[in-house]
Structure 1
Amino acid sequence: MSSKIRIAVLGASGYTGADLVRLAITHPAMEIVALAANQKAGQAMADIWPHFAPYRSLPRLVRADAIDWGQVDAVFGCLPHAASAELLSTLDERIRIIDLSADFRLNDTETYGEWYGVTHPAPHLLESAVYGLTEMARPRLADARLVACPGCFPTAALLTLLPVAEAGLIRDRNITINALTGVSGAGRGLKEQNLFVEISEAAAPYAVGAHRHMPEMEQELSRAFGKPVAISFTPHLLPMNRGELETIIVELADGKTLADLRACYEARYAEEPFIHLLPEGQVPATRMVRGSNHMVLNVFADRVPGRAILIAAIDNLVKGSSGQAIQNMNLMFGLPETMGLEAAPLFP
């Protein structure tokens, strides 16, 4: 490209927005021209995020309605559900949208209303929205005007389940997902249950049987199996800043083996820059991917015949959110998919 892609970030004062800015700063083809955060308008990013102290040249935060949209080529929506769609639906069609909220992930407005408790603000945009699970969406991203980035839990779960579901290696029943996540997944808002004293030296499930990512996972799995699918999903909050680990129990299809699962992953992900099947017996851990856009996974035999255990780890703020969003943007604008995302995981 002859010039940089001028981007705006809505919700730049949240964890997701700030991590997107962190990644965008060093992206060679992106220029940050606007940062919005209504409640923090007028402040510099370094005023609310100390790690941006060396980057005083970043635009100051403004209200979204103060952005000069004529200077923007692409916008990243890091706003809560409903607020995101309401604003993004008003933008000129010239501007390409990468939305990180839940507003455009679900195809059905009734399902959206049931799980999010509001009427969808922009149902007319749903038909054109591309579900941006990058590795599964590449053919549609180049021409997409609006990309709905998956939630962090669906990202790890679907990248693990879709290849073996589409290959007919697992059954469409009794899929159980247990997920562990860092506290950043709950957002930056002040919540009593997220105070240090509440979460330190503790682990607890939340949104048991009713997490809003469930219909998103069921929608995509139902498409893969060609029939309605219901899953069991339980997230757990751990006393760590970032990271996500999912343990998934599945039933093997008749005549299928653990070797078939490994062969499927090896074939599907052999050339993927960010998805990695670990050597046999090696257990995925969040420390393997912290701060990066990578995902690691592996398969294990269950002691119950006919079942398998699938384990995957991602960084919830990168591959599960802002990194995947930039990966999608790269493909939307014809850039190398890995551009700006080449950093290795941070350890220790």
Structure 2
Amino acid sequence: MIKVGIVGGTGYTGVELLRLLSRHHDVTIQAVTSRKEAGMKVSEMFPSLRGFVDVAFSTPEEADLKSCDVVFFATPHGVAMAQAPELLAAGVKVIDLAADFRLKDPAEFQKWYAMEHTCPDLLAEAVYGLAEVNRDAIAGARLIGMAGCYPTSVQLGLLPLLENGKALIETQTLIADCKSGVSGAGRKAEVGTLFAEAGDNFKAYGVKGHRHLPEIMQGLSAIHGAPVALTFVPHLTPLIRGIHSTLYARIRPEGRETDFQKLFEERYAGEPFVDVMPAGSTPETRSVRGSNMVRIAVHRPGNGDLLVILVVEDNLVKGASGQAVQVMNLMFGLPERQGLDVVPLLP
């Protein structure tokens, strides 16, 4: 059995990890930390876990994290990099759901997250946690910086068009028009995510620059093997869960004869958590709610030179905790679907 620790178990990504790992046949949850709630039963805070998770929150000092096989950090940015070196030295694998190990350039991290990186030496070793791109590297890794929710949808939506230096689309004029539910802001009290503020409303944010942009650019450039340029505009929608990304790419003359539906179907044919929808489909966020599935639809309006890619995912599952469990499975040589074969919720 894999002994698992979760640092920061009181947020939305923490409770999603608990939900998924509690039904994982190869996992035992050894420790869940929270300074504020230490001593409280996890199932007391989250009644949905009654009968499934029988542990209490403990402080990070009291939790025996060094005896775990893997520790997930479902914490604010900056926490994992403070604790990861000591855990790695003890032979514990680390999976960070925040941004501490996503960006390879510590100066970029400081620019976007307003804090200095405390262990930049580990950035070169950290593997980016997007299984569909880095599966082999993840399998041999001991430190993972998980992909963000928006970056997951954008990169998977554009991957077949850019992979291995393909020249099918213009790479300097890409557009990502993305929408997310309010759970993406985390489980905290904020005026902008109050029901009376976010309900019956729709707005863009981060238009001047969003911290997921450098992550997306880094990922797409690595996929393509050359720099790309992208305009990224996120929006807040009156949903609890879900991301819907509409991606626009101009087709180059060399790509005009390409069967893009076939290209996507063939690229993702062996992927357990990417579903390329039939031609003409318009996937809905509720079709992936509670699941680790990404659904993608490829459109070429009027058979013209503009490609429109629609991508939906659950921001808390494939965009965060589910993808982290998928990565853990790869790190320990388990079937990738283990603990994640969940049918989406409807309605």
Bucket of the pairwise TM-score, normalised by the shorter protein: over 0.9
1:1-348 correspondence to structure 2 within 5 Å: 4-55=1-52, 58-93=54-89, 94-166=91-163, 167-257=166-256, 259-302=258-301, 305-348=304-347
Q: Does the 8 A contact of 1:172 with 1:225 survive in 2?
A: no
- Provide the secondary structure at the position in 2 that maps to 1:38: coil
Shift of 1:42: 1.8
Aligned length: 344
Aligned counterparts of 2:102 and 2:213: Cα–Cα separation in 1: 12
Q: Does the 8 A contact of 1:5 with 1:29 survive in 2?
A: yes
Residues 226 and 59 of structure 1: is their aligned pair in 2 closer, same or farther, counting only changes over 3 Å?
A: same
Question: Could you state the TM-score of these two structures normalised by the residue count of structure 1?
Answer: 0.95
Q: Does the 8 A contact of 1:10 with 1:76 survive in 2?
A: yes
Aligned counterparts of 2:256 and 2:282: Cα–Cα separation in 1: 19
2:235 partner letter: H
Aligned counterparts of 2:24 and 2:142: Cα–Cα separation in 1: 21
- Provide the secondary structure at the position in 2 that maps to 1:64: coil
Aligned counterparts of 2:133 and 2:328: Cα–Cα separation in 1: 15
CA RMSD of aligned residues (A): 1.5
Q: Does the 8 A contact of 1:314 with 1:320 survive in 2?
A: yes
Question: Could you state the TM-score of these two structures normalised by the residue count of structure 2?
Answer: 0.96
* 1:238-295 Cα shifts (integer Å, max 9, x gaps): 1111011000011112231385322221111112111011001110110111100001
Aligned counterparts of 1:337 and 1:46: Cα–Cα separation in 2: 27
Residues 6 and 258 of structure 1: is their aligned pair in 2 closer, same or farther, counting only changes over 3 Å?
A: farther
- Provide the secondary structure at the position in 1 that maps to 2:15: helix
Q: Does the 8 A contact of 2:110 with 2:116 survive in 1?
A: yes
Instruction: Flag structure 2 segments of 5+ consecutive residues without an equivalent.
Output: none
Instruction: Flag structure 1 segments of 5+ consecutive residues without an equivalent.
Output: none
